[in-house]
Structure 1
């Protein structure tokens, strides 16, 4: 086990190089000149080289000292980058989000540009699909899930509750073909549905083109209902489905890049606005 604080030695040595004297480096690092001098002597003894030549008036960095300074700057810069990536610095890096096409198109698409403008070093990668992803075995930071959450080690924050409604094109047939989500949850079952899909956008598009009725989340068709392009089917049952953003680990320990995206989704990405 090493007792020597090698990172501190590098930091103080670089302060001597940058400030040009022990006294100035001591002031910059809140140390005494004597402590700086002793630390530099121990560093040179441990390395077995002369890093600097001292006179009563000046300090000259040797070739070995110049090479060590260059390496030390790289090491400390890499340490700073590592700390930033795990949340001790600016919001930067890639956040991978597993989500459905419906949520991505109707909720994420309008709210992500503002987030990316606010954090220019942040990158978002969307993994689109309705299937469940093993977040422990895949390079995924966040997932957006609809419906009941299974018992697991995942943490979750609510994104609201979506109404599941039945719609059809305005003026469409009253005895149309039914379209439904191919999911086990009975709230998605459409009476006599002859076509099933795993994508809510596809179901909404089928209904919009006058082909029949579809069970969809209200947030998918909010605009079409407002403009009258789609209408609610009278007396059709209305169900409710919870949405969550899920992740592994405690919120307090998430990297800054991930916790920032979670906070943005909870604040702006609700399905019941």
Structure 2
């Protein structure tokens, strides 16, 4: 179809051959096979000119529509501009402190890209929900998911200068043993909320350093002396191989790997 339309547009086999980087004889043979397959005469040839028949013009209109639809389909699944919705499952902590500051630049680079955030600290069944990517902390279970590293976060213990005694912690069991600790007086399902509770003096909490870097710098929180510092890995995970991802998804993956690491250098902190 593409070669036929080039012949129609260029007006001769030789010009079409030049445009398609083919030989004139190859173009001629291809057009002959096309006419034989369709069972109609698409063009009448003379020594100097090619005249497109009524059947040829009708086929050209259909061929242009088919190729345009194919081009649109390829664009939608990743062979064209970055466009469409990318649904990302992530924690409030990562969304607020890492993703939010870098999102404007991503949106400026790709005006047709849309982002939908599914917020929660718990695991999301990516195979059972319309989720394109997930940002996950801690060890990953064996699965068919592909992963890219987003760095390693220091987990530190902090409290407000005049905070109440008692620990704040998660209301559900975390997979990583680094979160194993004693009884918590106040519990929540979200690390970002726990950090806010500690900032207002409700107790002591273990939290990712990137979540409380600003509070540490302002003196609203302090690192508890002699508390152990452990490390937690972050990953962006997705289903399927990166070479087969739609452009909208692969673009966000690469952007997070480059700009969305949890161990990016930040401003000064105080203990």
Residue 134, structure 1, aligned to residue 125, structure 2: yes
Unaligned runs of 5+ in 2: 265-271
Give 1:89 shift.
Answer: 4.2
* Residue of structure 1 equivalent to 2:269: none
In structure 2, the residue corresponding to 1:37 is in which secondary structure? helix
Residue 38, structure 1, aligned to residue 29, structure 2: yes
Q: Is the CA contact (8 Å cut-off) linking 1:225 and 1:231 kept in structure 2? A: yes
Q: How many residues align?
A: 262
* Residue of structure 2 equivalent to 1:166: 157
Unaligned runs of 5+ in 1: 1-9
TM-score of the pair, normalised by structure 2: 0.84
* Residue of structure 1 equivalent to 2:212: 221
Give 1:134 shift.
Answer: 2.1
Give 1:22 shift.
Answer: 2.0
Q: Is the CA contact (8 Å cut-off) linking 1:179 and 1:194 kept in structure 2? A: yes
| Aligned equivalent of 2:170, options 157, 160, 181 | 181
Residue by residue, what CA displacement relative to the aligned partner does 1:84-111 show, whole Å, maximum 9, x if unpaired?
4454444444332221111111111111
- Alignment partners' CA distance in 1, 2:182 and 2:13: 83
- Alignment partners' CA distance in 2, 1:229 and 1:190: 24
* RMSD of Structure 2 on Structure 1 (CA): 2.4
Residue by residue, what CA displacement relative to the aligned partner does 1:164-223 show, whole Å, maximum 9, x if unpaired?
2222223333x2x43211232353356442221111121122222222232321111111
In structure 1, the residue corresponding to 2:210 is in which secondary structure? helix
Residue 151, structure 1, aligned to residue 142, structure 2: yes
In structure 1, the residue corresponding to 2:156 is in which secondary structure? strand
User: Cα–Cα, structure 1 residues 161 and 35, in superposed 2: closer, same or farther, change >3 Å?
Assistant: closer
Residue 17, structure 1, aligned to residue 24, structure 2: no
Q: Is the CA contact (8 Å cut-off) linking 1:164 and 1:188 kept in structure 2? A: no
The worse-fitting range, judged by mean Cα deviation, of 193-202 and 114-123 is: 114-123
TM-score of the pair, normalised by structure 1: 0.84
* Residue of structure 1 equivalent to 2:255: 264
Residue 71, structure 1, aligned to residue 58, structure 2: no
Q: Is the CA contact (8 Å cut-off) linking 1:180 and 1:189 kept in structure 2? A: no
The worse-fitting range, judged by mean Cα deviation, of 85-94 and 110-119 is: 85-94
| Aligned equivalent of 1:98, options 78, 89, 94 | 89
